[in-house]
Chains A and B, each alone.
Chain A
Amino acid sequence: MLNLLRTDLYRVFRSKSFYICFGILVFINIVTFGILFIITNPSTRDLILQFGAELSADASDIESSLANTTILEIFRQGTVSGGFLSVTTGVFGALFICMDFESGFIKNIMAAHENKWDYVLGKTGTFCIVNFLYLLGTFLVTLLLNIISGGFFAYSGLEDILYYLFSAWFIVNAFSALIMLICMITRSKAAGVAGAICLNSGLVVMILSSVFGLFGLGWIFDYSLYLTLASLPSAFQGEYGLRPFITGSAFFVLYTVISEIVLAKKDI
């Protein structure tokens, strides 16, 4: 397993997709930060209004709603809640796994490793590391932007930051395991990317939640990965604060085990 983890990490840092996906996340982060900075800052807000921009709320409402906005909230809005992080990591995962099958390198791997867990755990280990780097990297970018803007938004406490980043990491890892499962079943880049867009963005969950809501069963989806990620608390709040870790771990284990079973059953 460690041999394959080393192999995958060597490939990750030599693949363009890793840097492109990170670049997309950073870009989205900068755009979100920029928009919030412009509409919150009176001088830049007046400037864009002079250029013909229209704001649906008046200045006092905007200032009061954003008065206590912390950088963690900016990071949540820009990267995590909208599903950008889970979609981007999902697309990266789909491209990364399917390249093994598309190129045929999987034959080299499987000829040397009879135990399919080596492959599955190698991949999940790689995704956990990549997701951690993406989360940390994009958060540091938000932090840097706030420092450059003179500390425009309030800084969050270190404990809250660590709690939020780790709980988001658990959920995103489970999303990556889900994409791995789709790739193991289909071995198709198109299916993997489509799965990352439809499932990791919450599109499917929102539709199903609405349908199930008609029968009073919409609460089931409160335990889905997407809604858990979207409603992550910004600080540890007793037992509820453990929910992201439990939900993330449960789905992570489930998808990983099914991936191994699927891989073991199919010929290469």
Chain B
Amino acid sequence: MNTEYAVRTKNLSKIYGAKAAVSHLNMEVRAGDIYGFIGRNGSGKSTTLKMCCGLVHPTEGEISLYGLPVKNQTARRRVGMLIEDAGLYPHMTARDNMILKAKCLGLTDEKSVDKILELMNLSHTGKKKIRQFSMGMKQRQGIAMALLGNPDLLILDEPINGLDPEGIREVRESLIRLNEEAGKTILISSHILGELSKLATCYGIIKEGELIQQISREKLEEKCKDYLELQVDNADRTAALLSEHYPKIHYEVSGRNQLQVFDFTESGLLTAMLVQNGILVHSCSLHRMDLEQYFLELMEGGAQYA
């Protein structure tokens, strides 16, 4: 059994009518990772995650969970999921819903139900019915249900939707704890990219059903690091001056008149030095990019990031 990858898809496609919701997707989620799955609405995230849970039949391609096909019952038991909404019976209590899921999984120990409710801060809900729950409480209940059966892999689709900032923080800390302390692999999609960037150790970016990039957090940070962008009259001479005055500086020349200077944010010093040496500086701006900007630029087709 391959335990290096929790999820691996090969040429995974799902076609509805004439439209491919997911097209030849090759995704690799390493065991132990928190994999952030990013994409616009309708890009195929939920369909992909549903296929990984065995809820949707792929039109083409393969999915393996810990080296076993997704249809394998043993592999399936290693997965806990929260896809779209939590899937709860509205006329029942939080505990009743948990017991139903536990019975469905064949679990007999109801102590684990209470333990997980406590973990997700839902143990106080008592006889309150699910239909009386807030959106945030329902999401927390959904995550609690996903944790039943102690799965190795959690597949969470928009789990922080509808949560207040405190709720988001609680869920984030719970997920990090589950990953670091219990070693759970987490495949998570979210539109709140700022939050995702605090969690994920690896990212997959999907656009119109195609996985356009998989990137580790380290590589993303490398790509997103701060830099000064210089517009000058002569980029080659500017580069020579930079090497002469700041030998340790790292820069990239992109075109005749443009340079990016990394790990150096003293724009005043730099501009003064260049002007003193006869360089005409048209502009000098500090460029900062977070996950959101990176994602947006990638969506708009920024080939330089691909």
Contact = CB atoms under 8 A, between A and B. Distances in A.
Interface of A: 3-4, 6-7, 10-11, 14-16, 99, 103-115, 267-268
Given A104-B84, A105-B89, A14 B54 contact: no
B182 interface: no
Secondary structure at chain A's binding surface: helix, strand, loop or mixed?
A: helix
B100 A105 contact: yes
A215 to B, nearest CB: 41
5 contacts: A11-B92, A14-B92, A107-B53, A108-B87, A267-B56
Nearest to B53: A111
Contacts of A105: 87-89, 97, 100
A14 B71 contact: no
Contacts of B90: 103
A3 B89 contact: no
Given A10-B100, A104-B84, A107-B55, A114 B89 contact: no
B99 interface: yes
B106 A3 contact: yes
Contacts of B92: 11, 14
Interface of B: 50, 53-57, 71-73, 76-77, 79, 81, 83-92, 96-97, 99-101, 103-106, 145, 149
Contact of B54 (A3, A10, A104, A110): A110
Looking at chain B's contact residues, the main secondary structure is loop
A108 B88 CA distance: 9
A1 B154 CA distance: 24
Contacts of B106: 3
Contacts of A7: 100, 103-104
What are the 3 closest A-B residue pairs judged by CB atoms, nearest first? A104-B87, A268-B55, A7-B103
Contact of A103 (B53, B83, B89, B96): B89
A108 B85 contact: no
A268 B50 contact: yes
B233 to A, nearest CB: 60
Contacts of A108: 87, 101, 104, 145
A15 B101 contact: no
A14 B91 CA distance: 9
Given A104-B85, A105-B87, A114-B76, A10 B103 contact: yes
Nearest to A106: B87
A110 B84 CA distance: 15
Nearest to B97: A105
Contacts of A4: 104
Contacts of B56: 267-268
A104 B106 CA distance: 20
Given A104-B87, A104-B88, A105-B97, 13 more contacts: A4-B104, A10-B99, A11-B92, A11-B100, A104-B84, A104-B85, A106-B87, A107-B83, A108-B87, A111-B76, A113-B76, A113-B104, A115-B73
B54 A114 contact: yes
